[in-house]
Amino acid sequence: MALSLVHSTLFSKTSQLLLHTKIGFSHFSSSIPFSTSALPSNPKTWRRPVISVLELGGVKIARDDVVRDDPTNNVPDTIFSKLGLQLHRRDQHPLGILKNTIYDYFDTNYSNKFDKFDELCPIVSVKQNFDDVLVPADHVSRSYNDTYYVDSQTVLRCHTSAHQAELLRKGHTHFLVTGDVYRRDSIDSTHYPVFHQMEGFRVFSPDEWEASGMDGTSFAAEDLKKCLEGLATHLFGAVEMRWVDTYFPFTNPSFELEIYFKEKWLEVLGCGVTEQEILKRNGKLNNVAWAFGLGLERLAMVLFDIPDIRLFWSDDERFTSQFSKGQLGTKFKPFSRYPPCYKDMSFWISESFTENNLCEVVRGIAGDLVEEVSLIDNFTNKKGMTSHCYRISYRSMERSLTDEEINDLQMSVREQHAANSSLRRLYYSMRSKLLLQESTPLTLDAYGYSAAIITCRCKITKLSDDGPSSSDSCIFV
Ligand code: PHE
**Is pLDDT larger for residue 225 or for residue 23?**
225
Name the pLDDT band for 449 (thresholds 50, 70, 90).
Answer: very low
Over range 220-240, report the average pLDDT: 96
Rg of the Cα atoms in the chain: 23
For residue range 39-57, list pLDDT tens digits in order.
333 433 344 456 678 887 7
Q: Are 456 and 423 in contact (CB under 8 A)?
A: yes
C-beta 293 within 6 A of ligand 1: yes
Name the pLDDT band for 295 (thresholds 50, 70, 90).
Answer: very high
C-beta 7 within 6 A of ligand 1: no
Q: Are 225 and 255 in contact (CB under 8 A)?
A: yes
b/e code 134-147 from CB counts within 10 Å (16+ = b): bbeeebbbbbbbbb
For residue range 64-79, list pLDDT tens digits in order.
889 987 778 899 999 9
C-beta 312 within 6 A of ligand 1: no
What is residue 57's predicted lDDT score, i.e. its pLDDT?
A: 73
Cα 293 to ligand 1 centroid, rounded to whole Å: 4
* Residue to substitute in 6, 11, 257, 275 for testing ligand 1 pocket (most ligand atoms within 8 angstroms of CB): 11
What is residue 244's predicted lDDT score, i.e. its pLDDT?
A: 97
Percent of the chain with pLDDT over 70: 78
Cα 115 to ligand 1 centroid, rounded to whole Å: 19
Atom of ligand 1 lying closest to residue 271 CA: 10
Q: Dihedral of the CA atoms 15, 13, 152, 437 (nearest 10)?
A: -100
Over range 425-434, report the average pLDDT: 61
Q: Pairing relation of β-strands 174-182 and 115-117?
A: parallel
Atom of ligand 1 lying closest to residue 270 CA: 8
Closest-CA residue to 305 (of 317, 325, 322, 290): 322
C-beta 270 within 6 A of ligand 1: yes
Closest-CA residue to 235 (of 180, 175, 321, 304): 304
Which residues on neighbouring strands pair with residue 382, listed in sequence order?
A: none
Name the pLDDT band for 398 (thresholds 50, 70, 90).
Answer: confident
Residue nearest to atom 10 of ligand 1 (CA): 271
Class of domain 36-66+336-476: alpha beta
Name the pLDDT band for 444 (thresholds 50, 70, 90).
Answer: very low
Over range 237-241, report the average pLDDT: 93
Cα 198 to ligand 1 centroid, rounded to whole Å: 9
C-beta 291 within 6 A of ligand 1: yes
Those residues with Cβ within 8 angstroms of residue 24's Cβ, 6 or more apart along the chain or in another chain: 378
Cα 325 to ligand 1 centroid, rounded to whole Å: 28
Residue nearest to atom 2 of ligand 1 (CA): 9
Name the pLDDT band for 448 (thresholds 50, 70, 90).
Answer: very low
Atom of ligand 1 lying closest to residue 201 CA: 9
C-beta 356 within 6 A of ligand 1: no
Cα 404 to ligand 1 centroid, rounded to whole Å: 44
Closest-CA residue to 355 (of 341, 374, 338): 374
C-beta 11 within 6 A of ligand 1: yes
C-beta 272 within 6 A of ligand 1: yes
Q: Where in the chain is the domain with CATH 3.30.70.380?
A: 36-66+336-476
Cα 327 to ligand 1 centroid, rounded to whole Å: 27
Residue nearest to atom 4 of ligand 1 (CA): 9
Atom of ligand 1 lying closest to residue 295 CA: 4
Is it the case that residue 401 has pLDDT exceeding 70? yes
- Cα angle 183, 186, 187 (rounded to 5 degrees) comes to 110
Is it the case that residue 161 has pLDDT exceeding 80? yes
Those residues with Cβ within 8 angstroms of residue 383's Cβ, 6 or more apart along the chain or in another chain: none
Cα 290 to ligand 1 centroid, rounded to whole Å: 11
What is residue 1's predicted lDDT score, i.e. its pLDDT?
A: 30
Rounded to two decimals, what is the model's pTM? 0.80
What is residue 4's predicted lDDT score, i.e. its pLDDT?
A: 33
Cα 401 to ligand 1 centroid, rounded to whole Å: 39
Q: Are 127 and 149 in contact (CB under 8 A)?
A: no
What is residue 80's predicted lDDT score, i.e. its pLDDT?
A: 94
For residue range 337-351, list pLDDT tens digits in order.
899 999 999 999 987
Is it the case that residue 279 has pLDDT exceeding 60? yes
Q: How high does pLDDT run on average in the chain? A: 82
What would the CATH number be for the domain defined by 87-320? 3.30.930.10
b/e code 316-338 from CB counts within 10 Å (16+ = b): eeebeebbeeeebbeebeeeeee
Cα 10 to ligand 1 centroid, rounded to whole Å: 8
The residue type found at 61 is: I
* Residue to substitute in 248, 269, 288 for testing ligand 1 pocket (most ligand atoms within 8 angstroms of CB): 248
Q: Where in the chain is the domain with CATH 3.30.930.10?
A: 87-320
Residue nearest to atom 12 of ligand 1 (CA): 9
Cα 11 to ligand 1 centroid, rounded to whole Å: 7
Which residues on neighbouring strands pair with residue 246, listed in sequence order?
A: 254
Residue nearest to atom 5 of ligand 1 (CA): 293
C-beta 179 within 6 A of ligand 1: no
What is residue 433's predicted lDDT score, i.e. its pLDDT?
A: 57
**Is pLDDT larger for residue 420 or for residue 304?**
304
Q: Which of 164-168, 318-322, 416-420 is the least confident region? A: 416-420
Q: Are 348 and 385 in contact (CB under 8 A)?
A: yes
| End-to-end CA gap in the chain | 43
Percent of the chain with pLDDT over 90: 65
What's the CA gap between 215 and 302, in Å, rounded?
A: 37
